[in-house]
Amino acid sequence: MMSPYFLSILVSSVLGLGLAIPSYTCIVMGNLDIIRKKGKLSPTDVIFLAKGIVNLLLQCVLSVQGMIYVLCQAYIYVTEVLDFLDISIYFLFYYNFWLTFWLSAHYCTTITNLSYGFFIWLKRIVSNFLSHLLFLTALGMSIVSVPWFWAVSEENIQPSENSTEASGNTFRISLSYVVPVTFLGVILPFCLSLLCLVLTSSFLLRHVWRVKNNDSGSTRPNLQAHVTALRTIFFLLLIFTFFCVYQIGLFFHSFSLIIISWDLQLLSPSVEGAVIFQASNKLRRIILRRFWTRSWRNTET
């Protein structure tokens, strides 16, 4: 009989895949529809499109890994399978984290209008060279992730004569690789995204306070779009922590923590789809219009 831990991983793998495929298909098709009508995408839509493709691939790889771990455990210990899955997962996670930063940077530079030279430069390159930035980021994260082949070494454990432990294989990861890669792929984009969130929040709070104290009877500005941007960054950073908790569980060898955080990590790409939908009014309108038109045609026939 399957243990509850393995059953939860299997359910999370299937559920995440079932939610991610339709949601991200809608996101990609919605952005393609915007390109067809307008000829180009805004920086926000470009990042949403990239996140849609990356998260769909990430959910597929995570779900396959979870299903293999539960149903075909022997294949997990095949070095080639393990290396391919790990490299793919880490590359997609690292790239997704940097996409979160570029989205946070775009929101921050658009909303705050800070006059510092760095932010003026950042706003210019995000507005004019976003596609190049995303390509260079993907190239950089692939260069960072590929050395996983050489960072992981397999060792064979032979028990002593008086030991009751069974022989087997264990995997060791080089700290000289893990530390700089974790900094570049996780810590740095998280800290930069958090900085953008703090700067944007403080700017909006000061703006609201000034409007409230200098109100001369004029209509107050509508800040709904800015609040949505802040909410989007906050939720993406919250999902960010699922990966971090999973890595902490691996470090402390806590089986229960690993299983719980693994379940959350398996569902995180599909959850990001809901965050993207709440952040983009254009995508919601396109998807609702398509479903409404399709259902109307079905009722007509």
Q: What is the CATH number of the domain that holds 63?
A: 1.20.1070.10
- What is the model's pLDDT at position 278? 86
Are 275 and 25 spatial neighbours (Cβ–Cβ below 8 Å)? Answer: no
User: What is the number of domains present in the chain?
Assistant: 1
Q: Is residue 240 part of a domain?
A: yes
Tell which phi-psi region holds residue 217, choosing left (phi > 0), alpha (psi between -120 and 50) or beta.
left
- What is the model's pLDDT at position 182? 83
- What is the model's pLDDT at position 159? 46
Q: Is residue 260 part of a domain?
A: yes
Positions of the chain with pLDDT under 70: 1-2, 73-79, 148-175, 214-222, 249-254, 290-301
Question: Six-digit token pair at 109?
Answer: 């530079």
- Residue found by looking up tokens 């995570």 in the block: 62
Q: Is residue 45 part of a domain?
A: yes
SS (H, E, C) the chain: CCCHHHHHHHHHHHHHHHHHHHHHHHHHHHHHHHHHHHCCCCHHHHHHHHHHHHHHHHHHHHHHHHHHHHHCHHHHCCHHHHHHHHHHHHHHHHHHHHHHHHHHHHHHHHHHCCCCHHHHHHHHHHHHCHHHHHHHHHHHHHHHHCCHHHHEEEEEECCCCCCCCCCEEEEEECHHHHHHHHHHHHHHHHHHHHHHHHHHHHHHHHHHHHHHHCCCCCCCCCCHHHHHHHHHHHHHHHHHHHHHHHHHHHHHCCHHHHHHHHHHHHHHHHHHHHHHHHHCHHHHHHHHHHHHHHHHHHHHC
- What is the model's pLDDT at position 296? 54
Question: Six-digit token pair at 295?
Answer: 């259902």
Are 102 and 130 spatial neighbours (Cβ–Cβ below 8 Å)? Answer: yes
- What is the model's pLDDT at position 299? 54
Q: Is residue 146 part of a domain?
A: yes
Q: Is residue 162 part of a domain?
A: no
Pairing of strands 152-157, 168-173: antiparallel
pTM over 0.95: no
Angle CA 54–121–223, to nearest 5? 70
Cα-Cα-Cα-Cα dihedral sign, residues 253, 256, 262, 268:
negative
- What is the model's pLDDT at position 160? 47
- What is the model's pLDDT at position 59? 93
- What is the model's pLDDT at position 168? 43
Residue 141, domain extent: 4-157+167-214+221-300
The alpha carbons of the chain give a radius of gyration, in whole angstroms, of: 23
- What is the model's pLDDT at position 261? 79
